[in-house]
Amino acid sequence: MSRRPCIAANWKMNKTADEADDFLDPFLPSQSADGPEVIICPTFLALGRVAERCAGTSVRVAAQNMHFDDSGAYTGEVSAPMLLDIGVDGVILGHSERRQYFGETDEDLARKVRRAVEAGLEPILCCGETDAQRESGDMEAVLSHQVLTDLAEVHTEDLDKVVIAYEPIWAIGTGRTASDGQAQEAIEFIRSLLRTRDDAKADLVRILYGGSVKPGNAEALLGMPDIDGALVGGAALDPDDFGAIVAAAGNG
């Protein structure tokens, strides 16, 4: 089963447009179309600049959030047509920081994921358990609820248009990476959830690992059979570190 690896940089609330240029200057010339799919996810304010710089290259660009409606009285929000209008290819949805700090619910996410797919944006849907949920044996229940609810409004034939990122919350920004085995086990479980929707599609969906991925641990994680790439936070702020992770996926 061949799934093209995908390595995404979640810059979170970091980098102005000029700082994004400083990253792209050395990074873009090092990338080629025959490697993994590479996606940069800047803030809304740097998205236009990054999309312009990446146009005509193999590097794709995604937002970190969007609204499920196309327009309306939603102060501070941005919609799918607005992202498409400036050349954006995809969108991170359901990052744990948005769930935790901004009250994003699985019901919101079901609408957002459906709208992204309908609009032709590639969603990177994040899911993952807290430390306490893992310790109390609830990891599978949490992942089941998140994944099955968030994908509920996506037509089965479109399931492989969604990229899923398994990001255990205890591993995000903490330096505590999940072991290769822990990440593989959770991602294999997520794939088994997709099988309840469609067996053949489940084999096509790319599922990434996220949580303190670094150049030093990327190759081992990416070598696991069900791990199809990485969503990278801290280490994606540096072009050399992020380039090394992309290179590790090329070797995986």
Which residues of the chain form contacts with ligand PEP (CB under 6 A)? 10, 167, 172-173, 210-213, 231-235
Distance CA 64, CA 190 (A): 22
Rounded to a whole number of angstroms, the minimum distance from the CB of residue 211 to ligand PEP is 5
Task: Give the residue with the Cβ less far from ligand PEP, 50 or 235.
Answer: 235
| φ, ψ of residue 164 in degrees (nearest 5) | -110, 140
Find, among 49, 38, 86, the residue nearest to 229 by Cα: 38
Find, among 174, 181, 177, 128, the residue nearest to 150 by Cα: 128
> Which residue's Cβ lies closest to ligand PEP?
233
Task: Give the residue with the Cβ less far from ligand PEP, 68 or 209.
Answer: 209
125, two tokens? 């849907």
Distance CA 225, CA 112 (A): 29
Rounded to a whole number of angstroms, the minimum distance from the CB of residue 6 to ligand PEP is 13
Q: What does DSSP say about strands 229-232 and 90-93: parallel, antiparallel, or unpaired?
A: unpaired
Beta partners for 91? 63, 123
180, two tokens? 């290769």
Find, among 127, 122, 130, the residue nearest to 109 by Cα: 127
Rounded to a whole number of angstroms, the minimum distance from the CB of residue 96 to ligand PEP is 7
Task: Give the residue with the Cβ less far from ligand PEP, 8 or 80.
Answer: 8
Spell out where the chain has E strands: 6-10, 37-41, 59-63, 90-93, 122-127, 163-166, 207-210, 229-232
Residues that are catalytic? 95, 167
Contact between 153 and 110 under an 8 Å Cβ cutoff? The reply is yes
Task: Give the residue with the Cβ less far from ligand PEP, 38 or 202.
Answer: 38
Task: Give the residue with the Cβ less far from ligand PEP, 6 or 231.
Answer: 231
Rounded to a whole number of angstroms, the minimum distance from the CB of residue 199 to ligand PEP is 29
Distance CA 166, CA 164 (A): 7
